[in-house]
Amino acid sequence: MENLIERAARDLLNSRYAIALTGAGMSTESGIPDFRGPSGIWTKNPEAERKAYRSYETFLHDPRKWWEERLTGPNLLGDLAGAAPNAGHRALVELEKAGILKCVITQNIDGLHEKAGTSKLLEYHGSVLKLRCIHCTLRFRPHEFDLKKLMSEGKLPPRCPYCQGIVKTDTVAFGESIPQDVADMSLEEVWKCDLMLICGTSAVVYPFANLPRIARQSRYEDHWKAEAGLGAVASSPSVKIIEINGEPTPLTAEGISDYIITGKTGEILPQIVEAVKKLKK
Ligand code: APR
């Protein structure tokens, strides 16, 4: 394990454009359960997952009912408002401040990367800290609408003040497309990166789980075109993909990742940061 930490630190220092892709495993040490880990929400309650798959259908069919359920029912992930970033989130902020990590693309909706201070953040599945117009994708902070008042006056769903589109939570439901702006910016980052840290995700939900494969594929294509004198200039033929996860994933099994450091992101990421500092001396 020790040399894998040092190997990751060296790979990060040798990279030109490192990005991190994160999942629910990043937040379990902040007290927020993941979905498919040994004590995940879907692991413990498969019916809840089946219900989650129907949520967007309900929204499209009856947005007022969807909002009323949202405002009166429990949050599956528990009290997110009170959750705080952990050492793993803070380690990614340190790597960003050191100029090594250029962007975090997260599946997490809990807002913990934002709270930790990550500045270049793409919330691929949205955020509980925001609302979004499903027509023009404009985003709002929840306090910009008096949702309880709208509910008491029978005026749900909230409407976008700019295009009158229906406003829902920014969180992306199963069956809902990834907002185009986030999808496009994420692809940009994946095409630019030459190192990808993949932290705390089972890598089974698409299209997010495709991003590492796209990184691998696009690097190879650029390199091949450059070799064939077809214009694309690949700065390096390869992208280094490093998993940090509690257990192996399909990325591990398919050899998409170069190596996996098995364990807790809240412990491993700070160790990598310390190893980077030592190598920089
Ligand atoms: N450190 C490292 N890995 C961890 C930790 C931890 N502290 N805690 C859990 N893990 C691992 C689990 O073993 C699991 O492999 O993180 C992974 C989390 O996987 P999932 O629960 O499937 O979460 P994620 O990959 O983010 O799910 C993707 O599925 O339900 C949807 O929209 C939801 O964004 C979510 C998406």
Full pLDDT tens readout for the chain, 281 residues: 559 999 999 999 999 999 999 999 999 999 999 999 988 999 999 998 888 888 899 999 999 999 999 899 877 666 787 899 999 999 999 999 999 999 999 999 999 999 999 999 999 999 999 999 999 999 999 899 999 999 999 999 999 999 999 999 999 999 999 999 999 999 999 999 999 999 999 999 999 999 999 999 876 666 666 667 765 554 455 899 999 999 999 999 999 999 999 999 999 999 999 999 999 98
* CA within 13 Å, CB half, 158: 27
Angle at the Cα of 252 from the Cα atoms of 181 and 220, rounded to 5 degrees: 60
* CA within 13 Å, CB half, 44: 10
Ligand 1 center to 251 CA (angstroms) = 13
Question: What residues line ligand 1, using a CB cutoff of 6 Å?
Answer: 23-25, 28-29, 34-37, 40, 107, 125, 200-202, 205, 245-247, 264-266
Taking the model in full, what pTM does it have?
0.93
Pairwise CA distance, residues 201 & 246, whole Å: 9
CA nearest ligand 1 atom 4, residue = 25
Pairwise CA distance, residues 95 & 175, whole Å: 34
Domains for the chain: give ranges and CATH numbers. 1-31+84-125+178-281 (3.40.50.1220), 33-76+130-169 (3.30.1600)
Structure tokens at 82: 């009170």
Cα-Cα-Cα-Cα dihedral of 217, 236, 242, 112, to 10°? -90
Q: What is the mean pLDDT of the chain?
A: 92
Pairwise CA distance, residues 174 & 147, whole Å: 23
